[in-house]
Structure 1
């Protein structure tokens, strides 16, 4: 019941943001953010709605036409936006990879979760490259390489930290709490991932803050000052 409740809350929170963007007319200046915000809501729930209303909605042209320039964002907003982007890579990568792995029956006799770990990580990196590709300037054949370089330079360390925290969390619960490999058809499986992504969010905070402080990571794609 708890798992169903948290999953429903996440889906409802994502729906609220989608309705506000597409029906309310508060479209984001960079369309990528219209994916990042609802994906963030899948695991942060109402907290993502609060962040969206404070930092996301004021980015929209409609908001700016009505109220002028939005309030200046605090310094921590750059870290939060960077984490939202990288966590979106991880969340979408986990959903895509998990469904593929379990539907194809890919398994490991030694470690049942190993294909899931590999698939989730590769999925997160692939989604990150796709995100960067969507926001890179059109540079012909170099656009793909520009996206890959941006992911390796700015996102890979954060994504790796999130994935490591997520894998440790899943492994501990699978081995010491449930004693079996949960399947995607079980709502507890996705509830565990929700909690794991939140753990990964805080685990990757120092890394993302360091990358921004060192100037390695710039403002997250799709955001305005």
Structure 2
């Protein structure tokens, strides 16, 4: 595990190009968006609630599936670039994408919480087109939230510049 950290430190750059950061964030966003869309559909059909609200169940499902898919996407991206084995690839993918996914999902889910609890009463739900429009805005917010984290991860050599 120390080898991966040393390897990342040797690749660090002074300041990564904006284009590389942008592409890295879109890579993160792809896993998050796919996870969120699948989770929303699954939660709608399940009727699960947390604290009596479907919103919290959707947040949990969105985050978990987005995290899983983000790590899978990162794994298949980072392993060939670095020539890693399975275990090292998983560790590198988790290191490379965890902060990025957390930032993306935090921004996105904060926007959706604002929509659910403040701006729309009664709350929107995933059967409404307005909900999916707000979800698109949420993904832009998530993108903005994860951009600085991705810049830092590339600068530190923890993720690859794309």
> Normalised by the size of structure 2, how large is the TM-score?
0.79
Which residue in the other structure is 2:98 paired with?
A: 156
Identify which of 126, 134, 138 aligns with 1:192: 134
Q: 1:120 to 1:146 in 2, by over 3 A?
A: farther
- 3-state DSSP class of the match of 2:64? helix
> What's the counterpart of residue 107 of structure 2?
165
**Cα contact 1:83–1:204 (8 A) shared by 2:** yes
Contact 2:115 2:123 in 1 (8 A): no
Aligned pairs for 1:1-225 within 5 A:
75-135=17-77, 137=79, 144-220=86-162
Please identify the structure whose Cα radius of gyration is greater: 1
What is residue 43 of structure 1 aligned with on the other side?
Answer: none
Greater helix content = 2
Aligned partners of 1:154 and 1:211 also within 8 Å: yes
Over 3 Å counting, the alpha-carbon distance change for 1:214 and 1:130 in structure 2 is: closer
C-alpha distance in structure 2 between counterparts of 1:154 and 1:194, whole Å:
25
CA RMSD of aligned residues (A): 2.1
Cα distance in 1 between the residues matched to 2:85 and 2:47: 35
Q: How many residues are aligned here?
A: 144
Q: Give the C-alpha shift of residue 205 in structure 1.
A: 1.2
What are structure 1's unaligned runs of at least 5 residues? 1-73, 221-225
User: Which structure would you say has the larger RCO, counting Cα contacts within 8 Å and 6 or more residues apart?
Assistant: 2
- Given that 1:97 and 1:119 are in contact with CA atoms closer than 8 Å, whether structure 2 keeps it comes out as yes
The answer on whether the counterparts of 2:47 and 2:54 sit within 8 Å (CA) in structure 1 is no
Q: How many Å separate the matches in 2 of 1:212 and 1:154?
A: 9
Looking at structure 2, the residues matched to 168 and 127 of structure 1 have their Cα atoms a distance apart, in angstroms, of 20
The CA deviation at 1:113 is 1.1
**Would you say the 8 A contact 1:86–1:159 is kept in 2?**
yes
8 A contact 1:113–1:181 mirrored in 2: no
Separation in structure 1 between the aligned mates of residue 153 and residue 75 of structure 2, nearest angstrom: 21
User: Post-superposition shift, 1:202?
Assistant: 1.2
